[in-house]
Amino acid sequence: MKRRSIHRVLVALATACSLAPAFAAWPDKPISLVVPYAPGGTADALARVLAQHLGPRLKTTVVVLNKAGASGVIGEGEVARAPADGYTVLYDATPLSINPQLQKLPFDPDKDLQPLTLVAVTPMLVAVPKSSPYNTLADLIKAAKQSPGKLTFGSGGQGTVQFMGAELFAQKAGIQLMHVPYKSGGPFIQAILSGEIDMGFGNVPALTAHVKSGMVKALATTAGTRNAGYPDVPTIGESAVKGYEVYEWNGMFVPAGTPAETVNTLHAAIRDVMALPEVKERFDALGSRIVASSPEDFRKFLAAERTRWADTVKAAGIKKE
């Protein structure tokens, strides 16, 4: 009898130990926040602000990992294939909604990634070199109509929002521009500064210092309303193309199948962090507007973005690789 009692105790202990991991509170180890772009860009800067405050909120460490390459596809693929346990999170940007229109991806964004929240949106500025003869968007459009295909615009590549935003603008304004692609955003900005290209659509954070120094002129902003940092710069919608509104968005995803309880806990923590005054101040300084949407609203936003860019790619006659 005594041996049976001991056996029952041992079985109970073994069962409890085997079940313990299933009931362990999430998170109980560090979380990897994967940014599929190189350090120094808008997405990387905002992700690090978020990680700094998110770790203490979740009582763990949130480590930012840059997995750059192929316009974000390499890092996105790693997260899409990661275990759906809440310990690998993707911090992505607009190329995720553009790339599927341009190339066949090694994963399915809709099936393999679960939208968590639209973190923020960052408008762009339509910029020209300081030596440019164009002082308004109307000046530029007039010149483009007089010489179709002569005016050049640059970008960090065909899959970037800088390229797509300019292409959409050209389509809506009824003009033709010549695209000059660069390897990344840095050389593209330098091309504007040097006058190598006639114009470009650049993120507010990337251009602000150059606008303030007088090295480039900001003709318009891509936002729906005027930017607080540029109250005298009109929107494209009010000065040239009614209804035009384009942003570089930042959002977070987890692998599909991540437990709902984990998703809810993570989403609540993110919203708490985004409500902190110091976080809002930092985002504002980088020219980004906090959104912190629900997963469902983010899903709807992504669907609209993909439709818009699919239509833009089709109208431009760009062939899918």
pLDDT in tens, 186-207: 889 999 999 999 999 999 988 9
Range list for CATH 3.40.190.10 in the chain: 122-239
pLDDT at 277: 97
pLDDT at 13: 52
Contacts (Cβ under 8 Å, ≥6 apart) of 77 = 105, 106, 107
pLDDT at 23: 46
pLDDT at 320: 82
Q: Are the CB atoms for 155 and 162 separated by under 8 Å?
A: yes
Tokens (6 digits) for 238: 């009010």
Q: In this predicted model, what pLDDT tens digit does every residue of 17-37 receive, in sequence order?
A: 544 444 468 999 999 999 998
Q: ∠ CA 174-178-182 to the nearest 5 degrees?
A: 135
pLDDT at 3: 53
CATH label, 122-239, candidates 3.60.20.10, 3.40.190.10, 3.60.21.10, 2.60.120.10: 3.40.190.10
Tokens (6 digits) for 216: 């480039």
Pairing of strands 31-35, 88-93: parallel
Range list for CATH 3.40.190.150 in the chain: 26-120+249-316
Query: Which segments within the chain are labelled E, that is strand?
Result: 31-35, 62-66, 88-93, 113-129, 152-155, 178-181, 199-203, 216-221, 247-255, 289-290
Contacts (Cβ under 8 Å, ≥6 apart) of 53 = 273, 276, 278, 279
pLDDT at 5: 54
Q: In this predicted model, what pLDDT tens digit does every residue of 77-98 receive, in sequence order?
A: 999 999 999 999 999 999 999 9
pLDDT at 156: 86
In whole angstroms, give the CA distance from residue 226 to residue 24.
Answer: 48
Q: Which residues of the chain have pLDDT under 50?
A: 1, 9-11, 14-16, 18-23
Contacts (Cβ under 8 Å, ≥6 apart) of 311 = none
Number of neighbours of residue 239 by Cβ within 10 angstroms: 18
pLDDT at 19: 47
CA-to-CA dists, residue 108 to 73, 81, 117, 143, 262, angstroms: 11, 11, 18, 42, 22
Q: What is the CATH number of domain 26-120+249-316?
A: 3.40.190.150
**What does pTM read for this prediction?**
0.86
